[in-house]
Structure 1
Amino acid sequence: MPNFTQLRTTMVDTQVRPSDVTKFPIIQSMLTVPREAFVPADKRSAAYVGEHLDLGHGRVVLDPRVLAKMLDDLDIQSDELVLDIGAGLGYSSAVMSHMAEAVIAVEEDPEMAAAAAKNLMEAGVDNVVVETAALAEGAPQHGPYDVVILQGGVESLPDAILSQVKSGGRIVCIFIEGALGIVRMGYNIDGEINWRASFNATAPVLPGFEAEKAFAL
């Protein structure tokens, strides 16, 4: 049986800290949350590798470095409400639960959503609500949100998601442009999302966030 506590420490020391992620709440949360409890049972031995972890159906648990750097950009505060889109089996929501006041985790795959709720409960996380809904719709009934994060790639962002970012709030996602991907931070300033590039990363595009296909005659 792997020593998951040691693997978690190694992940933080060799993947997260060298990526210039130094904020204490992120480091502490990633040292605390048992990543192996939020991945498929047959992938537990690979829970701490430095790459995306396949959940099937084109979905992944983001590479620890990528998630940590996105969280570093967001700088979540203890009084903030977070929308986590594409929460999968609940790992990202569990990590952010230690930083935010509450997290709304949206997952459209019913089996993943049920597993996420179970995993979070077993981990003792009590400030995350799992909603089973289309990812591209978000969870407007709980919003607007201080922070919105997407756990996968995006080619096109629906207005339904952008409208859930509170005035003064922020959104982070991995924009996929051809073979390349770039993480961008968006800030809602007077109702307009102002974007800035942060770092390069890639991930499978989330369902509902694909670019509309242009039809050629």
Structure 2
Amino acid sequence: MTASDAHRLAMIAGQLKVNRVNDDRTLDAIKAIPREKFVPAAYRGVAYVDEDLPIATDRYLMEPMVFARLALEAGIGSGDTVLDVGCGTGYSTAVLARLAESVLAVESDPDLAKSAESKLAALGVDNAAVIQASLPHGAPDQAPFDVIFLNGAVEVDPGGLIAQLADGGRLVCVRKHKGTSRAHIVRKTDRVWGGRDLFDAYTPVLPGFEAAPAFEF
């Protein structure tokens, strides 16, 4: 067992299982993906710490506990199609691809999109693809999706993405609203959608989902 393997198991035991992530499918998917390969070289030694890690200017790899709980709450089945919004270097896509039938990852940063493609290919992930596009735009031409996973927080309603959900679909994200920051799930049924908060969570806001600056006199 390598040091990274040991750190990954320690992360699962000390960060995930103690925070209500006890689903075997979710844990096995996370256990199978080497998180250290998706962060810059300077951060590989701390790839499994319980905090967001920078991967580019104003972009982060989500904290393991928040990521794992969102993936669990999404209830991804083996026949589901997933839209992974803001995939960064592709870590989330690699994990979600082990849970779903297929994953389409959207990344707005061209360098991150190329990195994600390269890393997914190197790991042999053959049921995922990466496209470069605006994150709020998503991938309407490939919709509908059973699950939409946002790799970060939103300060505005992601209505354009909700419209891309299939009937029975779920969207998960971290929602910042009126001074609170909580994991959030949206469910769509018969063209009607409703959301609810899940647990307190913090992660940086994704590009394109920032609230407009408030006017100050």
Calculate the TM-score normalised by the size of structure 1.
Answer: 0.95
Q: Which amino acid aligns with 1:180?
A: T
Task: Give the root-mean-square deviation of aligned CA atoms.
Answer: 1.4
Q: Structure 2, unaligned stretches of length 5 or more?
A: none
Per-residue CA deviation, residues 66-87 of structure 1 (Å, 9 max, x unaligned), is 0111111111000000001000
Corresponding residue for residue 140 of structure 2: 140
**What is the SS of the residue equivalent to 1:114?**
helix
Are 1:14 and 2:20 an aligned pair? no
Alignment of structure 1 residues 65-214 onto 2, 5 Å = 65-177=65-177, 179-214=179-214
Alignment identity in percent? 38
Q: Write the distance in 2 (CA, Å) between the matches of 1:214 and 1:12.
A: 40
**What is the SS of the residue equivalent to 1:136?**
coil
Conservation of the 8 A alpha-carbon contact between 1:183 and 1:199: yes
Q: Which amino acid aligns with 1:84?
A: D
Conservation of the 8 A alpha-carbon contact between 1:146 and 1:170: yes
Q: Write the distance in 1 (CA, Å) between the matches of 2:25 and 2:119.
A: 21
Q: Which amino acid aligns with 2:109?
A: D
Q: Which amino acid aligns with 1:129?
A: A
Q: Write the distance in 2 (CA, Å) between the matches of 1:144 and 1:98.
A: 20
Q: Write the distance in 1 (CA, Å) between the matches of 2:68 and 2:78.
A: 17
How many residues in Structure 1 have an aligned counterpart in Structure 2? 216
Q: Write the distance in 2 (CA, Å) between the matches of 1:39 and 1:141.
A: 30
Q: Write the distance in 1 (CA, Å) between the matches of 2:181 and 2:159.
A: 21
Q: Please state how far the C-alpha of 1:192 moved relative to its aligned partner.
A: 2.0
Q: Write the distance in 2 (CA, Å) between the matches of 1:157 and 1:132.
A: 22
Q: Please state how far the C-alpha of 1:56 moved relative to its aligned partner.
A: 2.7
Q: Please state how far the C-alpha of 1:47 moved relative to its aligned partner.
A: 0.5
Q: Structure 1, unaligned stretches of length 5 or more?
A: none
